[in-house]
Structure 1
């Protein structure tokens, strides 16, 4: 008899956790599992890659309501004579405007504002999985009936005392917690040491065959640039260290090297980044490409992949660059040494613009090191599809 599984994630934008989930779903045996997938935001790029066997649940009533322009929402509320959803929406909207909040704080304010108007899932599952921290975790804990509940943590999750107290009541309702790297587990247990007996590690799953095939399909660089192509992939957010990247780009330009630094991603810092590019005359050097469901042709055509993150749960984009044999320069974030060997499969540098610039110049100019790294990449083990066995064990 098939096991009924539910996965819950915020959305399927083109980011690491989302790509990892798509890969996991692709590897499942659907003769053993019946799978529902719930999203809080619909219509994002990776939805088209969800296996046809997966049932994407219809949007929550509040999800539909929150997408309406405010005037339409007001009219909709009048028609239904139900002001509760509008009140919740206004409470959240006003709440997050008070000051700048972290993602964990935004998730708390959202749930405190909205949870009363979010309906329960009517089905009972064998296993329910929140595949991201924050809102999916709160939803599965409070709104889903399941024989087993599992929470994924795919970032380095440090919480202050208030957020720890708020989130503990949700994590207490989970049977297991999955961290995507050793360091992600260690950091989680700094906040929640009492969960040490129920935390497992399953690395973000990546399949080299899928990536190699997709690298030969779809869009690629449209310009005819013949210099060094640098690529960074990631949400345009503080976590990804774009301030470091921009300053490093400025220093690279001053060195006289012929290069272009491309970025695949979107996010809240787009306007700020564009302003910096304009102010510092970097429009020919630091190029925002937006997002694509298939970044692999861009990775394949790059000379260097650069990650300037302040923290990552694992660093899936680095793993993908390695699988396509592209040399990596990365900052020394918490989880970096779960996959990087400095000087062997890439260069690991301090978390500042000067160090990033020097690392890129070293990768460009030291041909012996560069060739050694590429050779190492060609020979090192590709992917980690065997991690799916750990998932199967959790489903028992």
Structure 2
């Protein structure tokens, strides 16, 4: 049995935290003795870890400016301070501080894996949690394998830091059967009306997620007489500004902020179109979940979307990452007869490629091979 450590910053609402829980819960526990460790003991996703998964944490509370404070210590010193125990495989499941910590393991018998979830674009950005670009390169070179969540993330990371370590693409794990089961739960009929085209967005309410772009588009569509309603699933620092815009523009009957939902699938499944307006993504967990549910996807072009939906929009609609392009893309679903039905069928077909079984077995194969 291989003893495996997965290190992540915390267990918050993010997609990486969610797919890590999905992955470790479904791995073969007769082959892998799994520990999930957080740098900081916070986040809703911890409660979903199976009892067979050991959970550890370094600090009970989040430390303000922790990334800068951690730079004061070498990666070797951080590893001794934080990890302490010995594992056969140590996985840095997020870029930045987690990668810096795991890279500090000097035991030649321990295999090290770094998981890259988002495009970095520049060496300076990739090195933000390191003392310098030179240190970032040195740390990543100590890993035995670098895992990227999409081909575009892989190409970006190769070009950005040029690390001479084997790179591999492994898609995120979604609990496909559970997602489909939970999607059958009822939704309060008072908030969803059959005569509206229902748009949905899922994610933490951050500027990078672009929810403000969608609410502005909804305002335009309403002014043009389209029967549209936008449902937002998630919480975050942008909630107040979104709420203010909704109130100022009298959009309370057209936009509903549903907050963080333990079961977002019952809403996504009952909506007509999933929207992604992010300025940056890795390989969107929310979009893959929409496909599993058979909900059509309209997205701006960010990392992984053409890989997910096809270069020629076979499985969903990808538009340029501009406000006007997204507006025109969404509007097409109102104006082109049968487009929603077409992409609903295509979404269901593509969603089968992200089954739990397929993605977990590929990760296990990688861990056994290094």
For normalisation by structure 1, the TM-score amounts to 0.81
Q: Between 277-286 and 202-211, report the one with greater CA deviation.
A: 277-286
Q: 2:68 aligns with which of 109, 117, 121?
A: 109
Q: What residue in structure 2 maps to residue 370 of structure 1?
A: 340
**1:217 Cα deviation after fit:** 4.3
Separation in 2, partners of 1:348, 1:169: 37
**1:69-102 deviation line (CA, Å, top 9, x unaligned):** xxxxxxxxxxxxxxxxxxxx6xx55xxxxxxxxx
Q: Point out 4+ residue stretches in structure 1 off by more than 6 angstroms.
A: 114-118, 218-221
SS class of match (1:124): coil
**1:340-390 deviation line (CA, Å, top 9, x unaligned):** 135432211122222222222211332322222223234445124323333
Q: 1:189 aligns with which of 139, 149, 158?
A: 158
**1:234-278 deviation line (CA, Å, top 9, x unaligned):** 122232122322321221221212222111122232333333333
CA gap 1:167/1:287 in 2 versus in 1, 3 angstroms:
farther
CA gap 1:242/1:150 in 2 versus in 1, 3 angstroms:
same
Separation in 2, partners of 1:292, 1:9: 22
**1:168 Cα deviation after fit:** 2.1
SS class of match (2:225): coil
- Cα RMSD after superposing both structures: 2.6
Q: What residue in structure 2 maps to residue 210 of structure 1?
A: 178
Q: 1:154 aligns with which of 117, 142, 152?
A: 117
**1:166 Cα deviation after fit:** 4.1
Matched, 1:393 2:365: yes
**1:113 Cα deviation after fit:** 5.4
Q: What residue in structure 1 maps to residue 92 of structure 2?
A: 130
Q: What residue in structure 2 maps to residue 292 of structure 1?
A: 261
Separation in 1, partners of 2:256, 2:44: 21
Q: What residue in structure 2 maps to residue 178 of structure 1?
A: 147
Q: What residue in structure 1 maps to residue 247 of structure 2?
A: 278
SS class of match (1:194): coil
- Residues 8, 93 of structure 2: 8 Å contact kept: yes
Matches within 5 A, 1:290-369: 290-341=259-310, 342-369=312-339
SS class of match (1:284): coil
Separation in 1, partners of 2:110, 2:186: 42
Separation in 2, partners of 1:185, 1:277: 38
Q: Indicate the structure with greater helix content.
A: 1
Q: What residue in structure 1 maps to residue 52 of structure 2?
A: 53
**1:173-208 deviation line (CA, Å, top 9, x unaligned):** 21111000000001111211233x421111112242
**1:117 Cα deviation after fit:** 8.2
Separation in 1, partners of 2:115, 2:103: 12
Q: What residue in structure 2 maps to residue 198 of structure 1?
A: 166
SS class of match (2:171): coil
Separation in 2, partners of 1:140, 1:220: 46
For normalisation by structure 2, the TM-score amounts to 0.86
CA gap 1:193/1:7 in 2 versus in 1, 3 angstroms:
same
Q: Between 181-190 and 370-379, report the one with greater CA deviation.
A: 370-379
Q: Which runs of 5+ in 2 are unaligned?
A: none
CA gap 1:344/1:121 in 2 versus in 1, 3 angstroms:
closer
- Residues 220, 297 of structure 1: 8 Å contact kept: no
- Residues 311, 335 of structure 1: 8 Å contact kept: no
SS class of match (1:125): coil
Separation in 2, partners of 1:134, 1:294: 30
